[in-house]
Structure 1
Amino acid sequence: MRPAMDLIVQRPEGLYCPPGDFHIDPWRRVDRAVITHAHADHARPGHGHYLAAAPGEGLLRSRLGEGITLQTLAYGETLEHNGVRISLHPAGHVLGSAQVRVEHEGRVWVASGDYRTTPAGAVPDRTCAPFEPVRCHTFITESTFGLPIYRWRPDAELFAEINTWWARNAEAGRASVLQCYSLGKAQRILANVDASIGPIVCHGAVEPLNRAYRAAGVPLPETRLVTEVSDKATLQRALVLCPGSAVGTPWIRRFGDVSDAFASGWMQIRGWRRRGGQDRGFVLSDHADWPGLLSAIGASGAERVIVTHGSVPVLVRYLQEQGLQAESFETEYGDEA
């Protein structure tokens, strides 16, 4: 009896399914790519054929071009390719993010991509479908925040802090510049802040993605580009969402005196806040924290866990101590910094 081959292996191009002859989030050009979500380190240009979850179609076309050959699946819908059953399941990371379930000859593997769990009793994110555990034999998990120190506070507390910061700045005539990732983080902030405090201005890297979210049915408050605002007093009361790369550019100088902040899970570490030099740091992440990672792994029922990008050695060692077969894959995925 021949030994069962691994359903997903490492190749120079990225994660590869040998019986299905397709890659998952490859970082080099391939013929067939299954994409977990539209962040640039997971969805790259140049592949011959893309397969992704239907809610993320607008984002992928916005980032990779309207002309890409893209096939979509509804969450939970199955597709058979070369004898391998493929289905996509909500990952809770950004709009359209998905875990990839592959099944072949009775074996089930799940590649998580990036994901964020919803703690028990918490209100689910309004900007994407919440994470759903998927039972499997082998679970490939990210570990961006795979250290016990990372434990996220309830969203209600966090966004109350952001609203208070914005309101105080508006009263003082200072724009509130909040640096954040353009895809996912910015839209999650928009969906949760109190838009009655003042106008909201988005950088040109953010606004096209806002349109894709709205087109997918996600309600977001009104946003403007800075070129659409002629009244200086309006800009001085605004919440401004932009990527970190906008800081120090002529674009940011249009707002005059500002209070700046950074929204990221890395703000949990004081050293990151000091190095950034911002007035405030808000601990906000679209990735699972330590309890979220452990709950997702446990809910999968997997006996074997393969850990990718992040705090890999720590999570692997911890899982091994819990009696699981744990190892790692080397990938080229990044993090939210």
Structure 2
Amino acid sequence: MARRLALIPMDDHDLVVERPQGLYCPAGDFYIDPWQPVDRAVITHAHADHARRGHGHYLATPQSAGVLRARLGDDIVLQTLAYGDTLEHHGVRVSLHPAGHVLGSAQVRLQHGGRVWVVSGDYWISGHDGEHNATCAPFEPLRCDCFISESTFGLAVYRWPRQAEVFADIDAWWRGNAEAGRASLLMGYSFGKAQRLLAGVDASIGPIVVHGAVDAINAAYRAAGVALPATQHAEALKGKAELNRALIVAPPSVKGSPWLKRFGNYRNAFASGWMQLRGARRRGAYDRGFVLSDHADWPGLQRAIRATGAERVIVTHGYEAVMVRWLREQGLDAGAFRTEYGDERIEAAAESEVSS
């Protein structure tokens, strides 16, 4: 990954600055997705690197509430704000808007003193026209003066194929395995990716088994009205023949675990944007890699940034140096924040807390 840039100089009137605890709004005296405990935190979404324990007060979308409470505890002080609604805190108008990443994911719009800043959180917008993530509200472009954007896949090599092509490949792989009497283990993170996989596959091919970590999140999606196919636990399947036709959706942490022994002869695959690179597939020792990400690719990042009309862009986690260089070539005022987002080990640890 590209070397992180030095801190960019901050203006006294900036609506968001970098502090050791996280991204801070001085005018409103609150943080956005802080990585250390703070009094007031606005949370863009419930992935573990953005939503952490220990804050005094949380603000997030209603759609995020179920997953946040499941992961952080029922006793958190959580206030919800519907997409597009506004609240004012110390003179700063705050609103949350769809990010297209996972259920309840939001961009944070801040308005104060005649200026508008938007913090993207993680987001997905397709580089192809007419595509949306079927499991959450689509990314909403927001006009602003300054856009704080992620850049997880901020390299030109990352260009996602059309979703229909990816799901056709997954279905063909599953169908081929079923005809050969082999189960199909399809791995993806339990929150967001697993539900997107479930919503996109052809459920008529065979039974669908889910790991306990996936099942727990599925409940929140179904409660929010997201259509998912019927799923079951492995113990519910009747006989080896049925098991050998199954699609097993599980987090990558199950790889090499005793949980998989019950499936006998199976083939495995991993669904991720990182599967764009053959080296990543080879190092992971996956039988197949499917390129499916919940983050914007290079064309998607460019599309999102241009749609904001922002003259200033601050890049967070990912390939910051490459993205900042490209932004400056476009004539924009660009720099980077150092953050603690994007560490997939944090999300894996959150998944491991849910028993199988």
TM-score by length of 2: 0.92
Ranked by relative contact order (alpha carbons within 8 Å, sequence separation 6 or more), the top structure is: 2
Q: Partners of 2:50 and 2:343 in 1: how far apart?
A: 11
Corresponding residue to 1:104 among 108, 112, 117:
112
Could you tell which deviates more after superposition, 301-310 or 52-61?
52-61
Q: Verify the 8 A CA contact 1:138 1:304 in the aligned structure 2.
A: yes
- Give the 5 Å matches for 1:48-87: 48-87=56-95
1:130 positional shift: 0.3
Q: Corresponding residue for 1:182?
A: 190
1:45 equivalent to 2:53? Answer yes
1:59 positional shift: 1.4
1:233 is paired with a residue whose SS is helix
User: What is the aligned-residue identity percentage?
Assistant: 67
Measured against aligned partners, the alpha-carbon deviations of 1:235-286 in whole angstroms (never above 9, x if no partner) come to 2111111111111111011100110001000000111011111110000000
1:64 positional shift: 1.3
1:218 is paired with a residue whose SS is coil
1:5 positional shift: 1.6
Segments of 5+ residues of structure 2 without an aligned counterpart are 1-10, 346-356
Q: Corresponding residue for 1:149?
A: 157
Q: Verify the 8 A CA contact 1:118 1:131 in the aligned structure 2.
A: no
Q: Partners of 1:217 and 1:61 in 2: how far apart?
A: 18
Q: Corresponding residue for 1:196?
A: 204
Q: Verify the 8 A CA contact 2:170 2:201 in the aligned structure 1.
A: yes
Q: Corresponding residue for 1:214?
A: 222
Q: Corresponding residue for 2:213?
A: 205
Q: Corresponding residue for 1:128?
A: 136
1:138 positional shift: 0.6
What letter is aligned with 1:131? F
Corresponding residue to 2:285 among 277, 281, 291:
277
Q: Partners of 1:324 and 1:336 in 2: how far apart?
A: 30
Q: Corresponding residue for 1:298?
A: 306
1:66 positional shift: 1.7
Q: Verify the 8 A CA contact 1:144 1:335 in the aligned structure 2.
A: no
Q: Partners of 1:123 and 1:301 in 2: how far apart?
A: 22
1:33 equivalent to 2:78? Answer no
Measured against aligned partners, the alpha-carbon deviations of 1:168-207 in whole angstroms (never above 9, x if no partner) come to 1011111100111110000000001000000111111111
Q: Verify the 8 A CA contact 1:122 1:154 in the aligned structure 2.
A: no
1:335 positional shift: 5.2
TM-score by length of 1: 0.97
What letter is aligned with 1:96? G
Q: Partners of 1:205 and 1:230 in 2: how far apart?
A: 22
1:234 positional shift: 1.8
Q: Verify the 8 A CA contact 2:23 2:33 in the aligned structure 1.
A: yes
1:206 is paired with a residue whose SS is helix
1:13 positional shift: 0.7
User: 4+ runs of 1 displaced by more than 6 Å?
Assistant: none
Q: Partners of 1:172 and 1:335 in 2: how far apart?
A: 38
Q: Verify the 8 A CA contact 1:84 1:102 in the aligned structure 2.
A: yes
What letter is aligned with 2:141? P
